Amino acid sequence: MKNKVTNILLAGVGGQGTLLASEVLSEALMLGGYDVKKSEIHGMSQRGGSVTSHVRFGSKVYSPLIPEGEADFLFGFELLETMRCLPMLRTGGTVVVNDLKIMPAPVAMGQEVYPADIPAKIASSFPDTVLVNGMDLAMQAGNVRTVNIALLGALSRRLDLAEQHWHQALTGQVPERFLAENLKAFELGRAV
């Protein structure tokens, strides 16, 4: 029998909290008893560049990189970056994406155009697309900086993992004084 590994690709822009979300995600998966591997690139990408993070879990995981075209979930923090990563998704894969545009430099300089109708384009190839208004949820939770955790909540409902592990992971990864609002954001996201 083939060892079933689930692949989650996170995509966003440097500074958006993509990395913290992937930390919580892998921690929760480990607490749930899975083997977990995660891979990402630091450095230049932190200066507003594209950021991707690969998270894989299952009974045994070898490569920390998701094989090309085999991502089960694309978890996007920004629309253009999510669009960019679509080729990594398998047919029938699920997209959970934040409804947010951040202008890359060539667009901000008026040299290139930000693609129109990204959510519709994504949904036409991947019917399992969940568009989340992360900012709305974060504001409801009382802190705009909890967007990433609200989005994680939306993803969490689609993964095979008990709620207690998510809470435990959040408690371990988020500084205590921000914990309450992050838990709130997670709950709001989970309801989406």
Partner 1 sequence: MKKTILSGNEAIARGAFEAGVKVASAYPGTPSTEILENVANYPGIDAAWAPNEKVALEVGIGACFGGARALVTMKHVGLNVAADPLFTLSYIGVRGGLVLVVADDPEMHSSQDEQDSRNYAKFAKVPMLEPGDSEEARAFTRLAYEISEKFDTPVLVRTTTRISHGKSIVFPAEPVQGLPEPNLVRDPAKFVMLPANARRRHPLVEKRMLDLAQWSCEQPFNRIEEGKGEVGVITAGISYQYAKEILPDAHILKLGMVHPLPKDLIRSFAARCSTLYVIEELDPFLEEQIQAMGIRVIGKELFPICGELTPGRVQASLEGRETVLSQSTEASLPNRPPNMCPGCSHRGVFYELKRLGAFVTGDIGCYTLAALPPLSAMDSCVCMGAGISNATGLSKVLPPEQRQKVVGVMGDSTFLHTGINSLMDMVYAQAQATVVILDNRTTGMTGRQDNPGTGHSLTGAAAPAVDIETICRALGVRDIQVIDPYDLELTRQTLKDAMARPEPSVVIARRTCMLERRGAAERKLPLFVDADKCVSCKACLKLGCPAIEWNAEAGDKGKAVVNQLLCVGCGVCQQLCKFDALGVHNEK
Min. distance of Cβ 175 from partner 1 in angstroms?
Answer: 16
Min. distance of Cβ 128 from partner 1 in angstroms?
Answer: 19
Q: Does 104 bind partner 1 (CB under 8 A)?
A: yes
Q: Please work out, in degrees rounded to the nearest 5, the angle formed at the alpha carbon of residue 91 by the alpha carbons of 86 and 97.
A: 40
Q: Which of 21, 88, 122, 174 binds partner 1 (CB under 8 A)?
A: 88
Q: Which two tokens mark 95?
A: 């997209």
Q: Does 46 bind partner 1 (CB under 8 A)?
A: yes
**DSSP code of residue 157:** T
* CB-nearer residue toward partner 1: 62 or 191: 62
**DSSP code of residue 66:** P
Q: How far does the chain reach from its first CA to its final CA, in angstroms?
A: 35
Rounded to 5 degrees, φ, ψ at 125 are: -90, -30
Site for partner 1 in 130-169 (CB under 8 A): none
Q: Which of 38, 100, 155, 184 binds partner 1 (CB under 8 A)?
A: 38
**DSSP code of residue 146:** G
* CB-nearer residue toward partner 1: 107 or 192: 107
* CB-nearer residue toward partner 1: 4 or 109: 109
Cβ proximity of 145 and 123 under 8 Å: no
Site for partner 1 in 12-31 (CB under 8 A): 13-14, 26-27, 30
